[in-house]
Amino acid sequence: MPLHRIYHPISAFSAADKAGLAEAITNLYISRGLPAFYVVVLYIPFENDSFYVGGKPTNNFIRIVSQHLARQFPDDAAKNAFMERFDTILAPFIKDKGVDWEVNDIDFSFVKLFLFSRFMSKKFLEKPGEKTDLFHLEKALMRKTNGCD
C-alpha cells in the first residue's frame, strides 16, 4: 500500500497535473500487480513563506515522501530500479518544469503493524507460519472479508 505525500507550493500543480501524476504513479504499481485502490497520492500545498531550504524560503521546491507499507524492496537493485522508474514518471510534472525536487522513500513499515479497512494486518495472519508478503496478505484479507475464515 504505497503512500506518496507530495509537498508543493500552491501554484506548482494544476488540477489536471495532479490527476495526471496520480494516475501515472498508480499505473506504475498496477504494472507490478498491485490493485489501484492500494495506491494513495496525497498533495500537501504550502504557502510561500512556509517551506525553507537552507534557512531561506522557497517556492520552487517539491518534496515527495514515499512509504511502502505492505511490500518492501528485496534489495538495493530493486530500490534503484523503482527510483529510476519513479524519476521518469515525475519528469513531465516536476523535473521538466525546472522545479527543484527531492524524493525520499521510507520502507521501514512492517506488514504486521498497519490497519487496513478496520482489520489489523497481523490478525489476518493467524495461522502459524503463514507468509507475510503482499500476495499472502491479500489472500488472507479476501478470506476474512468473504467470511471464509
Q: How many separate domains does the chain show?
A: 2
**pLDDT tens-digit map of 49-72:** 899 988 999 889 999 999 887 667
Average pLDDT score, the chain? 79
Task: Give the domain range for residue 115.
Answer: 111-145
Residue 30 in grid coordinates? 498496477
- pTM higher than the cut 0.85: no
Model pLDDT, residue 131: 54
| Same-domain status, 45 and 117 | no
Q: Which parts of the chain register pLDDT below 70?
A: 70-71, 106-149
CATH number at residue 88: 3.30.429.10
* Cα distances (Å, whole numbers) of residue 119 to 41, 43, 109, 142, 144: 22, 26, 17, 12, 9
Residue 40's CB: how many other CB atoms inside 10 A? 15
| Same-domain status, 30 and 88 | yes
Model pLDDT, residue 28: 93
Model pLDDT, residue 125: 46
Strand pairing category for 115-116 and 100-106 = unpaired
| Same-domain status, 48 and 86 | yes
Residue spans of alpha helices (H) in 46-148: 76-90, 121-124, 134-145
Model pLDDT, residue 79: 83
DSSP 56: E
Ramachandran category for residue 49: left, alpha or beta (phi over 0 → left; psi -120 to 50 → alpha): alpha
| Same-domain status, 37 and 12 | yes
